Chains A and B, each alone.
Chain A
Amino acid sequence: MIHDVSGPGVIKVFDKLKKEGLISVEKLWNPSKVWVAEDHFVPSAEKISAENIMKLTKFTKQYGIEKHFKYGMGQYGICHTLSHEEALVLPGEIYVGGDSHTNTTGALGAFACGLGHTDVAYVLLNGKIWFKVPETLYFKLNGKLPENVMAKDFILKIIGDIGNDGAAYAAMQFGGSGVSEMSVESRLTLCNMTTEAGAKNGIVEPDQKLFDYLAARGATNYSPVYGDSDAQYQDVYEYEASELEPLVAKPFSPENIAVVRDVSGIELDKSYIGSCTGAKYEDLEAAAKILKGRKVKIRTEVLPAAISIYKRAMENGLLKIFLDAGVTVGPPTCGACCGAHMGVLAKDEICISTTNRNFPGRMGHVESQTYLSSPLVAAASAVTGKITDPRDL
């Protein structure tokens, strides 16, 4: 997978190596296994971004890549969201993408791993790449998550416990009755933020729930892979779902975790419900549950992560709930999550966000602040204008 940042990066690598006489790129290894997203800088805010989209289009045409999800032409969205909405990756597969949150897709029972431009260029040309087989950390969740606690809270808890590099170079596997109970979308949230713990990949064992999810998207032909019964784990961490509660990651690091009730009352300027982490259908549903019949007190944006999700949100009345609450609903984009465009933060602005990172300057000005949270917490905070536990609304 490549998108409008890594794609032009890969094209640049090809151009450089061609100039050096190292390679010729007459054809790609297998264009039918490649897919392309336009997500980071769409809709284009200025001409460089627009030119990058043109470069992608030229590239996919030249090499016969058919799966190019184009902005303004039906289904498009954030690459990781498309991977599951369109069932582009299947259980048992090895999937690499030119984006760090490629880990997300491990929730579909695949080995899914993010790479840089040079590595992706190598894969596009050769269909292979080197990997060190990672050790595995196993995270077991006992019992069903309580009401108002989401998968986002669970993964924030884990990152707080093991730290930004707690899973460096390792695989993070999620299991236990709590994960079996979870929807596929919740599992995607868990795997998505394994990146923030430094993991090579996140993975959940396939089950009937996943097979049904994929079947609903037309995918039935694949070979699932399961863990061995005598698998050795580097570490096993066990959590009781009943003990989890709504959390935030405070500025300026995803490991900087606090219980929402311990920081409630912090005044906010903005609530952002978007990204591959926090704008899947169930994320929007969670936000709508809070916002129904209420008004937002601070600037609030909802950006569904793909057109298919946008459409379902419209058909099921979620968009009306958002608009009635005073929210601005935007198009799918990585946009402000990576400080690129469309709602970036000013100096001293404080934002609560369903996204995945809050390093200095991540969502805009280096002196802006981002609190990471679940969609429930982001929506509850939008209603009060302060960091708020949904249970206290």
Chain B
Amino acid sequence: MGKVIKYERDNIDTDVILPGTYLKLHDYDEIAKHAMEGIDPNFHARVKKGDFIVAGKNFGCGSSREHAPIALSHCGIKAVLALSFARIFYRNAVDGAFLLPIEIDETAYKKISENDELDINTEKNEIKNLTKNEIYSMKPFSDIISKIIAAGGLFKYKPD
């Protein structure tokens, strides 16, 4: 369970998630201090462990910097729920076991509000909105993605 931080915009890119000037940092907690600094300088102060980000299309577009999912996960973000994801952010999130990239549809995107409390069940592909007492579906993970998530990241995953 966690609360929602919602950005009603598309193309939240890696320069916004973790600005380029901090790419020299490799201490995960230091990186986390600058998460979302591009559009939300208060993010690090207000985010709590287990919270969710909800956003529009093409979340995480831009660079291959693993700093982006690292910054979010080390702030406590458990999953990003977006209409769609850019490919490198998506696979970095999964392969590094930093957070869950969850694709949602327009209905869920519209209905979920800032501060709503959510509970996610990836086995049932369900998102429960405890604040509004609603249930939305999420796009199921593909076979390999499910297996890597279940293993706890690429290095723990044993190919069949």
Contacts and interface: CB of A to CB of B under 8 A. Distances in A.
B42 to A, nearest CB: 14
Contacts of A200: 87
Contact of B155 (A8, A23, A169, A366): A23
B101 to A, nearest CB: 13
Contacts, number: 130
B88 A114 contact: yes
Interface residues of B, number: 38
B3 to A, nearest CB: 25
A188 B38 CA distance: 30
A244 interface: no
Interface residues of A, number: 48
A361 B95 contact: no
Listed residue (B38, B65, B156) with the most chain A CB atoms within 10 angstroms of its CB: B65
Interface SS of B by simple majority: loop
B16 interface: yes
B61 interface: yes
B84 A122 contact: no
Contacts of B25: 48
Contacts of B154: 118-119, 122, 130
Contact of A9 (B21, B26, B159): B26
Listed residue (B16, B58, B66, B88) with the most chain A CB atoms within 10 angstroms of its CB: B66
Contacts of A366: 19, 38-39
A102 B65 CA distance: 13
Nearest to B19: A361
A41 B66 CA distance: 17
Nearest to B59: A165
B64 A253 contact: no
Interface in A136-179: 164-165, 168-169
B58 A165 contact: yes
B61 A119 contact: no
B15 interface: yes
A164 B24 contact: no
Contacts of A13: 96
Interface string B77-109: 000000010111001100110000000000000
Interface in A110-134: 114-119, 121-122, 130, 132
B63 interface: yes
Contacts of A12: 26
B24 A49 contact: yes
B23 A40 contact: yes
Contacts of A46: 24
Contacts of A109: none
A41 B24 contact: yes
Contact of A168 (B19, B20, B86): B86
Contacts of A169: 87
Interface in A353-367: 357, 359-362, 366
Nearest to A340: B20
Nearest to A344: B21
Interface string B36-78: 0011000000000000000001100111111100000000000
Interface of A: 5-6, 8-9, 11-13, 17, 22-23, 40-41, 46, 48-49, 52, 98-100, 102, 114-119, 121-122, 130, 132, 164-165, 168-169, 198, 200, 253, 338-341, 344, 357, 359-362, 366
Given A48-B24, A340-B24, 19 more contacts: A5-B24, A22-B155, A41-B23, A52-B24, A99-B63, A116-B95, A119-B91, A119-B92, A119-B154, A130-B144, A198-B58, A198-B87, A253-B11, A339-B20, A340-B21, A359-B11, A359-B38, A361-B16, A361-B19
29 contacts: A22-B156, A23-B155, A40-B23, A98-B64, A100-B64, A115-B88, A115-B91, A116-B65, A116-B95, A116-B96, A117-B96, A118-B66, A118-B154, A119-B91, A119-B95, A122-B95, A122-B154, A130-B159, A164-B11, A165-B57, A198-B58, A198-B86, A340-B20, A340-B21, A359-B15, A359-B16, A360-B38, A360-B39, A366-B19
